[in-house]
């Protein structure tokens, strides 16, 4: 397939060449990866960093010999890289773990111990369940009340008026996603953080779905916690938890003896995936390098990341607009969430559809047979699919990433037209 950089802001073929997976052919056709929201593809530099660690530096941390010291240094470097990605100046606020879900459960148990009967927490139906159930269970254990915020079924935007109305002196936590992993809606994060802080509540952000698409900025948002996962932003399977230093220091963490009770170790349990963390650092630097290549090769990491994400957003928006326009011409396909190509600023390029003529499961399966890899179901955003009465068949999620091309979107639209006739 020809990949032109036609009206896009960068050399897409040079980007695609860095991802070995994009060479895969299925049933005689190049594979189109639209499964990124469940795990993005990985550039060669990340694969190299993982294998370099295992081949040459593999050791546990804290020892008095070279490979262990190099492992310590690697964790420090990776924390620096992730701090730049999140927008904090304090790398010791960054903790690694297995995945977002596990880290969120650890934090929810610790925070829940500080809540009591009559306290209130706020979660949303637009969220992945990993940003709902950990808080609901912690609230149950503490006897706290849970408020569930809905969304507009027409355009998939969060009902922020209801959220603000539910905030009060007993609100302890607002747990909200930066972007919906099922409908793609981007939430007004800064505004939500400000409103929550006015009543003295803390804010936990799930940035898992947002991270590959837009630059995170914990300082500008003013949130208290954030979690994300590197396997969604071109890295390996490693989870990341961030919190404001003072809160992380003051809060009690469940720890083994002898407890490593100071940052950055405090919120990490057990031995980490060091090879994965080597890959996380490489993934952040892959992104920074994208920015440097399109702008200035000497840009510091955060500025380079800023440029990279501006380019990523511009490229994704071109593809997303074309996809939404193309889908609107298919009579049997319905787009759930923001379908208006004029509202790209309010969404990331994750477009979920159903077909009138074929189930979501069947549609995903037929796409898969034709080399178009996309997920179907509820993607653990159970509150969303239940609210939309889409259980049990769910949606088909077309997850665009910056490595996708216009030609892929055209082939997708053509195939969807054929399958949903």
| Residue 45 to residue 18: CA distance in whole angstroms | 8
Interacting stretch for ligand PLP, rule CB under 6 A, among 69-77, 206-214, 327-335, 347-355?
206-214
**Residue with smaller CB distance to ligand PLP, 12 or 336:** 336
Closest CA to 130 of 111, 151, 110, 103: 103
Give the interface size with ligand PLP as a residue count (CB under 6 A).
Answer: 14
> Using CB under 6 A, which of 3, 57, 125, 128 touches ligand PLP?
128
**Binding flag, residue 216, ligand PLP (CB under 6 A):** no
CB of residue 264 to ligand PLP, shortest distance in Å = 19
Selected binder of ligand PLP within 87, 91, 112, 177 (CB under 6 A) = 177
The sign one gets for the Cα dihedral 296, 299, 301, 306 is: negative
Residue 420 in the binding site for ligand PLP (CB under 6 A): no
The residue from 108, 181, 223, 307 that contacts ligand PLP (CB under 6 A) is 181
Is residue 130 close enough to count as binding ligand PLP by CB under 6 A? yes
397 binds ligand PLP (CB under 6 A): no
* 100 touches ligand PLP (CB under 6 A): yes
Please tell me whether residue 303 binds ligand PLP under the rule CB under 6 A. no
93 binds ligand PLP, rule: CB under 6 A: no
Is the Cβ of residue 81 or residue 183 nearer to ligand PLP in the bound state? 183
Tokens for 114, please give them: 């500080």
User: Which CB, 217 or 289, lies closer to ligand PLP?
Assistant: 217
> 390: closest CA among 125, 131, 207?
125
Please report, as residue ranges, which positions from 234 to 263 form the binding site for ligand PLP (by CB under 6 A).
Answer: 239
Q: How far is the CB of 225 from ligand PLP (least distance, A)?
A: 13
Q: Which residue among 192, 208, 277, 284 contacts ligand PLP (CB under 6 A)?
A: 208
Q: Note the residues at the interface with ligand PLP (CB under 6 A).
A: 38, 99-101, 128, 130-131, 177, 181, 206, 208-209, 229, 239
């Amino acid at each position: 397939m020809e990949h032109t950089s036609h009206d896009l802001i960068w050399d897409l073929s040079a980007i695609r060449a860095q991802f070995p997976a994009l060479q895969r052919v299925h049933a005689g056709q190049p594979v189109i990866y639209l499964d990124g929201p469940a795990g993005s593809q990985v550039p060669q530099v990340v694969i190299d960093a993982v294998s370099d660690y295992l081949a040459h530096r593999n050791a546990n941390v804290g020892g008095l010999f070279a490979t262990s010291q190099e492992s310590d240094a690697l964790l420090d470097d990776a924390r620096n890289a992730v701090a730049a990605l999140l927008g904090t100046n304090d790398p010791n606020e960054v903790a690694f773990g297995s995945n977002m879900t596990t880290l969120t459960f650890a934090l929810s148990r610790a925070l829940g111990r500080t809540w009591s009967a009559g306290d209130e927490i706020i979660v949303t139906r637009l969220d992945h369940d990993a940003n709902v159930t950990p808080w609901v269970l912690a609230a149950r254990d503490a006897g706290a009340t849970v408020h569930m915020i809905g969304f507009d079924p027409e355009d998939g935007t969060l009902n922020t008026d209801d959220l603000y109305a539910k905030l009060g002196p007993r609100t302890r936590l607002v747990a909200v996603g930066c972007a919906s992993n099922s409908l793609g809606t981007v939430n007004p994060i800064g505004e939500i953080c400000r409103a929550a802080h006015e009543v003295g509540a803390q804010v936990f952000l799930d940035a898992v779905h947002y991270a590959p698409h837009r630059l995170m900025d914990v300082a500008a948002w003013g949130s208290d916690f954030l979690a994300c996962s590197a396997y969604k932003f071109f890295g390996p399977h490693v989870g990341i938890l961030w919190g404001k230093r003072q809160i992380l220091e003051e809060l009690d963490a469940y720890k083994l003896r002898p407890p490593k009770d100071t940052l950055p170790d405090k919120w990490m349990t057990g031995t980490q995936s060091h090879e994965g963390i080597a890959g996380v650092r490489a993934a952040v630097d892959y992104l920074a390098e994208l920015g440097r290549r399109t702008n200035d090769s000497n840009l510091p990491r955060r500025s380079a990341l800023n440029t990279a994400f501006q380019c990523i957003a511009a490229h994704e928006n071109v593809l997303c607009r074309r996809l939404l326009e193309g889908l609107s011409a298919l009579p049997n396909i319905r787009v759930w969430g923001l379908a208006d190509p004029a509202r790209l600023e309010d969404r990331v390029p994750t477009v979920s559809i159903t077909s009138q003529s074929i189930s979501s499961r069947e549609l995903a399966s037929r796409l898969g047979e034709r080399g178009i890899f996309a997920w179907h179901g509820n993607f653990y955003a159970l509150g969303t699919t239940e609210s939309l009465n889409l259980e049990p068949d769910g949606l088909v999620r077309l997850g665009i990433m910056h490595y996708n091309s216009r030609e892929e979107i055209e082939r997708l639209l053509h195939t969807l037209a054929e399958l949903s006739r």
